[in-house]
Structure 1
């Protein structure tokens, strides 16, 4: 919006600003307030007496000097002069007339929301803003002056409808423009039945059709769309997870380039918002930042690289919205050709006077050519260069271990399948065969860096195809949870299903197929999914682990040392998703990318480095065992000092293996505290 500052009210009156998911109108109110402030400032700076006269004056004076809010940047000044730029000058207090405030609202502000109540709240809020600061006396005076109602009808500005779904939702499936709407998406076999599936043959009831509420942009805003679209699209689209999209996914799949089966609703709002812009228009949303690194964000990332990204401001895990954990970012896009680079800022704190000032001090340029479709890392040029160097020096972990990376076990109902030692012993006493399918079980919180895994939980591992009648004690035990263990039938309608998700499993079986279950009994590296820093450890005792963990099936101590090094941690902190509290997601989709420096066993130098890392890792494992059994605080302190020193030695070896310079080591230290 800063682009309006050097312009004049006549030009600004042509600007059309839209929030396509306006909710209760917060963003529209902000935009409207900005425009009110800007107009008042401009009039006062350009002969206010002139703008306070005539048939439709834009200004009037309150008749006394006072401190008032001057600009859209919330500056407070003592107004007593026509020189707006000088806070020490003296001018009289000027205000916009109600007629001028009404004109600005009708000319500039537009919104759409699917919720009719939200639409009415937005209208009311904007109307109250028109009258803000007025008294009965000033309103009556202006009504006599202008001979028209004080409050406008906002029916042509704020409308109810589904911004994402057009009237092609109901088109004849034999000739569906629905499937022709996006030339970038190829038709898939059977696609011609999409509309019938969604809107016909009773799949959607009349009530469901009303809830869909398709919106025709060309019909509802004919002049704006005829002129190419809106000048600005702003907002904070709803956070609706893919599970809540239901049958509408079929429509999104054929209508939106950014479609992914696991994508949240905001991805479609981004594509739609940009499509509603005129040439040279500007788009600005605050949305979750998960699209940058999540698998489901790949179509969106590819699409964004073809757009004119102007700026991304990433707040990481900062609590921008006090009532919700949303991991927000601000995404600004222009309707223009893609640039070679854009501005990015990683916001580290909310303790700043203005976001604009913070961004100016902390921004850096990101080249589009450095962004990988598998995940975006918006690092500065130095960090980006180091990441590229690491990638060139090693091979991805997934390749290094020949794909032997697996998720932990998701039961679908831990309350039934995860038991304590007392319950395990009871099941053993009732039927000794129970021992065959009860496994020692680790939770994510049980796994610590280099520490020998210990846990007091056990898993009833009723994998797919198991003959439950052979284990009567376990069948009896699980039967108490039977209603909650039942898989949801495919045809089930409604939201009150008490059991587990749909699937081909039987009620007594683990929810997900774990065909690789035998891998848990082999030597393996285990890592929890949510950690602040690398927390890999070795297990060679046959623990199974839950879905908050992942395993790498190898006993390679050189690999364990590399993964726990600051170099690997720096890489992970650069590419993985953040969680609140300074945590990161250490999931296979991320850590499988860690570049591992391969060793040439015929090269004496390589072999020496390898053997040194292995020796120190063995020492680390032994030190952690000793620490776990230490009797006194003094003993623990002494051992911890040895652990810290050994850690530093491993880090130094890894720095040298990757050929890092002193400056690059400093970058690693900054990126993996």
Structure 2
């Protein structure tokens, strides 16, 4: 029995060891270091990255280390389940067989190393065409930085580790061929990769739910011959596996006389996937491969090598078009550059990522913002909905629908689209264009507030969107699930959680309310304005009443916004003592207020911070004490990026704030509030402070008195305003917090 938790912990340690081994090879052996530097320079020139050499190199090292570890996992799984002869290890007598085979290998090739023996294991799987995709020397990161002899020896020894009773520590035997454990490896094998790519598995019950409302109706409408489904953010392949098994069942139903191998191949041909993470793609390919072999009754790699097993799952950035022929209106042509681990161009004959060619598009796009300046600028050029500091959920929302088949004038033949995504776009400013400009052009059919449900791993509140690529009916309605109450604890079985069960039971029944959610048919016009509020239980009606009677501050000449943004707070917010000791005069110091000191209707003390501006002109002040203090940080300050441009490209001095709004500072009276808070505690400030991005300010028009500010303050701190704010402001995840805190003292929280 495989101990998944121990396997993950042990493999994380192996990745770290291999990273050190591979990094040393890159730094000391020109054969590898020079080649990688050339590739980094090419990526910079093609504007595929703006990362420094050190950062880019570390990513490459991590990819290669993970590829070596995952490759051996694939070999170990296959040898334990007798798909290949033992190479690395195996239970019982198979371990001795692996050791004997290795001894024979070295006798025949005396100059070979342990790394060569591991690659021999890779070659065993490469004998089938699908296995060749897993271990393609052109694209697999493992071949880009070969592991050293000592590193390979340690990795082999790890797989041969025994327990006290003589059995192997890690035994992969499984008659059911369940590969879900690989999803955990994909998600957690490398913390650096997890942070960069926002790795997150889609739980099976969520994947099944989305396929029920996309793939299921699509199979009723479109013929199986030529059927096409894609997950452009496929990760470890959950949606692809779920779709594959449904397509297998559909082919069996349509033609029971078909050979099992033919059914498996036809289902594989219909399933496409792309992900930017090479080891996610490797896992997705491996899982799909084993699923197809299981359906076809394949028992060994020798048997598989006699049949065609091609999978259309590629490594690459699915937000980029592959060619002018595949370009989307308004998008420029492909950059002509492909990273070494990418292979999307190898699938041109499968029309991979061809806009308007898919009957179903499903997925769970990453929820992160794009920190790389070149990538950020590229996505802004390609996707009209990208706005302000957008999350990747925005361009992917557009891309999903662009890949789907477009309906004709009669609205027939349109592709189905389904995704679970962060709900931040609903209320944060970056979602404005997506909601008001893009969504009105497509037919959203279902909007489901899933933020109250307990979805493992999803600390970010989510929403499920389902729709079709066709012109919407102007007077039509959108079926919506509105949240009332979140889970009160962590359910033993998340697929049977109270909120999730209510969503499943009520979605097809408009007008139905429960303790957890409301089901309504919303007028399409209600979803054409930003922000969205998806609160049920009568909250939507009260919100509508408040919206009718509310008055906008802007109508009276007031403005709301940030006072300043440094984008390097630690450099500027250093405290009065440090600034005084370095000779920074008083007029170049100011309290820089952050949201966490705006609490309980007052401003708690905030550290004195460097304020590099002239008190009279409010222009950047190049004082010697400022330059002396900031000089060690000049490179990172110059490279600060705001809206896709560096500090210097914006025409700002390297030593000043990334943004400083002089007009908001000039008027002394301000009402400030915390950007993130549990309730409304607005505070009146009478001047002399600078307000950071986490503590925005409300500025009334010139001439407004202190009494005017106090009257507004009373309204803003009222219960009515608190209710309204909870409906229109982004929820950071109170349902998950309640669920986790309810378990304190009973279940470990990670």
Structure 2 Cα separation of the partners of residues 102 and 9 of structure 1: 22
TM-score (structure 2 length as normaliser): 0.55
Correspondent of 1:124 among 270, 273, 286: 286
SS in structure 2 opposite 1:510?
coil
Kindly state the Cα deviation for residue 104 of structure 1 after the two structures are TM-superposed.
5.6
Structure 2 Cα separation of the partners of residues 365 and 25 of structure 1: 33
Alignment of 1:98-113 (within 5 A): 98-99=260-261, 102-103=264-265, 105-106=267-268, 108-113=270-275
Structure 1 Cα separation of the partners of residues 288 and 446 of structure 2: 29
Structure 1 Cα separation of the partners of residues 552 and 277 of structure 2: 47
| Distance change in 2, residues 1:101/1:415 (3 Å) | same
2:591: which partner in 1? 440
Cα deviation digits, residues 19-66 of structure 1 (max 9, x gap)? 2332332210122244557788x79xxxxxx96xxx757xxxxxxxxx
Kept after mapping to 2: 8 A contact 1:167/1:216:
no
Kindly state the Cα deviation for residue 332 of structure 1 after the two structures are TM-superposed.
0.7
Alignment of 1:157-306 (within 5 A): 157-159=312-314, 162-169=317-324, 181-182=328-329, 199=335, 219-221=349-351, 229-239=357-367, 241-244=369-372, 246=374, 249-250=377-378, 253=381, 256-260=383-387, 262-278=389-405, 279-301=413-435, 302-306=437-441
1:594: which partner in 2? none
| Distance change in 2, residues 1:307/1:26 (3 Å) | same
Alignment of 1:555-634 (within 5 A): 555=706, 556-581=709-734
Kindly state the Cα deviation for residue 119 of structure 1 after the two structures are TM-superposed.
4.0
Is 1:534 the counterpart of 2:684? The answer is: no
SS in structure 2 opposite 1:338?
coil
Structure 2 Cα separation of the partners of residues 100 and 381 of structure 1: 51
SS in structure 2 opposite 1:391?
helix
1:27: which partner in 2? 239
RMSD: 4.5
Structure 1 Cα separation of the partners of residues 680 and 268 of structure 2: 55
| Distance change in 2, residues 1:294/1:39 (3 Å) | same
1:509: which partner in 2? 656
Q: Per residue, is there more strand in 1 or in 2? A: 1
Correspondent of 1:344 among 458, 480, 493: 480
Kept after mapping to 2: 8 A contact 1:366/1:381:
no
| Distance change in 2, residues 1:574/1:426 (3 Å) | same
SS in structure 1 opposite 2:529?
coil
1:80: which partner in 2? none
Q: Which has the larger radius of gyration?
A: 1
Kindly state the Cα deviation for residue 282 of structure 1 after the two structures are TM-superposed.
1.5
| Distance change in 2, residues 1:293/1:211 (3 Å) | farther
| Distance change in 2, residues 1:325/1:153 (3 Å) | farther
Structure 2 Cα separation of the partners of residues 166 and 345 of structure 1: 34
Unpaired runs of at least 5, structure 2: 1-210, 406-412, 507-516, 701-705, 738-750
Count the aligned residue pairs: 483
Kept after mapping to 2: 8 A contact 1:290/1:577:
yes
2:600: which partner in 1? 449
Kept after mapping to 1: 8 A contact 2:460/2:733:
no
SS in structure 1 opposite 2:415?
strand
Structure 2 Cα separation of the partners of residues 480 and 113 of structure 1: 39
Kept after mapping to 2: 8 A contact 1:23/1:119:
yes
TM-score (structure 1 length as normaliser): 0.60
Is 1:314 the counterpart of 2:449? The answer is: yes
Kept after mapping to 2: 8 A contact 1:411/1:512:
yes
1:360: which partner in 2? 505
Structure 2 Cα separation of the partners of residues 415 and 341 of structure 1: 49
Kindly state the Cα deviation for residue 300 of structure 1 after the two structures are TM-superposed.
1.9
Structure 1 Cα separation of the partners of residues 456 and 592 of structure 2: 37
| Higher mean displacement: 567-576 or 349-358 | 349-358
| Distance change in 2, residues 1:481/1:263 (3 Å) | closer
SS in structure 1 opposite 2:574?
strand
Kept after mapping to 1: 8 A contact 2:669/2:686:
yes
SS in structure 1 opposite 2:577?
helix
Kept after mapping to 2: 8 A contact 1:412/1:500:
no
2:189: which partner in 1? none
